[in-house]
Amino acid sequence: MSRNKWRKIFVLIGTTLASSPLSLLTYYGNLLPYLTSYYHAHRHRMLVYVDPLWLSTLFRSCFTLSMVFTSPLEQRFGLRPCITAGLVFLNISIFSGFFAVREPLALTLLFGATQGTSMGLIHSLALKLLLQTMHVKGGTASGVMFSGISFSSLLNIGVAYAVINPKNEKANLHIDGHVYFSDQGIINRVPYYFLAIGSITFLISTLGMFLIFLGSSDACAKAQATKPLVGECKQNNSIYQSSEATLFDLTLYEKHCVMDAKEKNNVQVAREDTSSEKQMSRSNLIESTDDKGNATKATSLSASVEMSPKEIIKTRQFWLLSLFTISLGHTFYIHANLYKAYGQRAISNDMALVAAGLLGVAGMVLTRPMVGLLTDRIGVLNTALAICSTSSVFMSLMVVTLHTYAWMYIIVSALDSTCVSLKLMMISLLTSTMFGRVHYASNLGLVCLGQLLFFLLEPLLITQVIHHLGWDWLFISGSLSAVLAMGLIMALDWFNHTGCGSDIEQCSST
């Protein structure tokens, strides 16, 4: 095997290992009951109590916001030094959980916010380095990298159970609608989870960083100094449309790949289309759909108009899509963080609930490639509609099975986890097909902005719903939220086929 192939293998394995800790949102629901039990047992010695749900919220928020500063930091200090610094802060944030867990506020800031910030930096730059190295098979390589993230979730769930509750003790303390572990051994072992997972993360990230330096040592400096070639942009175009593409990655694609392609191929894309040109483009789209009938309904959202952020905010489709992200985001947030806490109300076997989390993550690994094929067959809108409907049904069944056949709750919970985890993938595809790819990064960030703001309110809303209405109504609200997302998708489909919605003023006048 040639030296160049070994270098690519080293970078592929290294970036996969370095970015694998990016999985807190998919395993935190398993860890949360242990943390709440720990805080309940030590409630008298805490200085400031903070709902543990804020940890998940800050992780997601800081992860998204940190990518805004990734490009300036890379230009100032270099790609590999920034990845190294991110890994250092990542390990510090995880190990510090051993001490910070005694105070919820400290744990939220160190384990949540700091980890989210460092992972936003690591994930963006690791993906960039991987695509710079894998010129030919960037899509396949990125798929391997993202599968490592899912397997990391399986590892975290397993380690938490093995360290904190190896004897499968029951959660048997029911207080004010919450269920806690009363076993003192479980309470005392919670801090050691952070040492265990920190040690594993340290070994994985150190090996990953070593392989990154080994594989990119002779080409990294040159890669950082040059922009991607047009051919590379075309080859790696698919990754920037995937569910895992970050805001920084998409901005890089828009700024370098699209602009270079326009310059080198003299492709003129108008930034400010006139309303008549947009209407003509939409009319052509509708006519082609009418001529071919139902056979082309799935592909009716092909990007016929390239729109900038200033233009999309004037469309009804943008506001419908933003509401869609908030609606389905509420369903995702509830399930990802509280499926285990809710299941403890009727299932005392901790191992069974851990199995629900493991099955859900395994389902994510298996279904993501298949959903990509499904969108090619039936279209993005129909696929999104199917995901919303199944998410609503499964979340409703979680409420029903928990009070009837509790063992079925494990299966239904895993199925619901598989469905709602596809939320970001659908948002990414819908943004691309409706508003085009030239301004895809900026448009995606604008669409997701409302969801980010709503996530900051989720801990407060969830607490109030549980207190006044109960757990069942909380999960029913998640099911109804998925139904609302279905209605928004159907509205998007109607606006697309009627041509109304791409220009608010024009539609209002007609």
Give the model confidence (pLDDT) of 443-469 as tens digits. Answer: 766 777 777 778 888 999 998 999 889
Q: pLDDT tens digits for 462-504?
A: 989 998 899 999 999 999 999 999 999 888 888 766 655 544 4
Q: What is the C-alpha to C-alpha distance for residues 51 and 54, in angstroms, rounded to an integer?
A: 6
Q: What is the mean pLDDT of residues 250-279?
A: 43
Residues 39 and 104 sit within 8 Å (Cβ to Cβ): yes
Q: Which pLDDT belongs to residue 442?
A: 62
- Distance CA(29)–CA(339), nearest Å, equals 6
Residue 96 — pLDDT band, cuts 50, 70, 90? Answer: very high
For residue 70, pLDDT over 70 is answered with yes
More reliable by pLDDT, 213 or 268: 213
The CATH number assigned to the domain with range 308-504 reads: 1.20.1250.20
For residue 273, the model assigns a pLDDT of: 42
Rg (Cα) of the chain, in Å, rounded?
Answer: 23
Q: With contact defined as beta carbons under 8 Å apart, do 134 and 78 qualify?
A: no
pLDDT at 262 over 60: no
Whole-angstrom distance, CA of residue 233 vs CA of residue 239 = 10
What's the confidence (pLDDT) of residue 392? Answer: 94
Averaged pLDDT, 215-226: 51
Q: Which CATH class is domain 1-267?
A: mainly alpha
- Residue 419 confidence (pLDDT) above 80: yes
Worst-scoring range by mean pLDDT, 183-197, 251-265, 300-314?
Answer: 251-265
Instruction: Look up tokens 């090619």; give the residue.
Output: 376
Q: pLDDT tens digit string along 399-411?
A: 999 999 888 999 9
- CA distance linking residue 127 with residue 147, whole number of Å: 13
Evaluate if residue 417 carries a pLDDT over 70: yes
- Range with the lowest mean pLDDT among 50-54, 194-198, 260-264, 321-325? 260-264
The region that residue 379 occupies, defined by phi over 0 for left and psi between -120 and 50 for alpha, beta otherwise, is: left
What's the mean pLDDT in 295-303? 41
Q: Report residue 311: phi and psi, to 5°.
A: -85, -35
Closest CA to 354 of 366, 344, 367: 344
Which three-class secondary structure state does DSSP give residue 178? strand
**CATH 1.20.1250.20 spans which residues of the chain?**
1-267, 308-504
